[in-house]
Amino acid sequence: MKNNELFRIEAARMSNTDLAIKYDVSKRTIRRWKLESRQSMPPPRTPKYDEFMTVKADRAMVIGDVEVPCHDPEILEQACSIAKKFDIKTLIINGDFISLDSFSKWARSTVYKLAFKEELEPAVKILRIFLSLFSEVHCTTGNHERRLAHRLDGEITIADFFKSLAGVEFSEYSYCVLESGGTEILVAHQDNYSRLPLAVARELASIYHKNIICGHTHHQAAGFDKSGKYWIVDGGCMRDPLHTEYKSTRINTFPKWNAGGTFVIDGNPYLFNKSNYTFWIDLGGHKYIDKSCERCN
């Protein structure tokens, strides 16, 4: 091959047969030349971003948008109680565990006036409570967690603080895959938001062909994608609107937040919130999930 660069250009638009005729060689030689041409390409200079978490657990609790220190202690306690009831040992925190308003110039100067330490201390205490209840605690990154990295140009991330807690796995990715009951579930704190519940989850299911649990929207809802093949969930939130200035001091047409979370048993999602909490704790709710379960008694 006299001109490797020219051959690569021609190989992109010509068939193997035409190339063999032009160069008066066999198609086998053309295939070899193509392979050699590809091998001569320089490798990428950037890392390969494929190290997202895969969590394997038939029983898992998924919460998100806690946004400590503006969290709602009641719904957090209810999540812990349900986990105990159903013998759930795996917790996934689906982004925005900590608010980091101390790194938001507007919030820091006008509203909350919190120092980073005042946000970090309750966050660590809550994580320690989780570690006393769950065998595994997995955290993904939300838009709030990125505030620290943005402010410090990536020199330090919130993961540097949370990874020091034994048992907490923190991912820089905004999603993870939960394998439960032989099915895959994409747990995502995506960038997109919609006022319409399940609209974002439905789009994600059509792109990634998986069951979906969405964070970020602060909605709580469940349904199916357009094909009817994948179930989709908006997971709710655990931030208290009464401790959120922009939510409680203004009037607009944005949907109200839904305090709640999701637990997954054998690949099936179950939504909990303050309205149905007693149902899940009562024996009737327990039988609804699994009549033969002895671990939860």
Nearest-angstrom CA–CA distance, 10 and 19: 8
152 or 146, greater pLDDT: 146
Distances (CA, A) of 85 to 95, 145, 283, 289, 295: 24, 30, 10, 11, 9
Please tell me whether the overall predicted TM-score, pTM, comes out greater than 0.75 for this model.
yes
pLDDT digits (tens, 9 = 90+) for 88-132: 999 999 999 999 888 877 666 566 678 888 888 999 999 999 999
Q: What are phi and psi of 264, to 5 degrees?
A: -115, 130
Contacts of 76 (CB under 8 A, 6+ apart): 63, 66, 126, 238
Residue indicated by tokens 């093949």: 229
Instruction: Report which of 134, 51, 144 is spatially closest to residue 89, judged by C-alpha positions.
Output: 134
pLDDT digits (tens, 9 = 90+) for 249-283: 889 899 999 999 999 999 999 999 999 999 999 96
Residue indicated by tokens 């540097």: 160
Q: Under DSSP, is residue 180 helix (H, G, I), strand (E, B) or coil?
A: strand
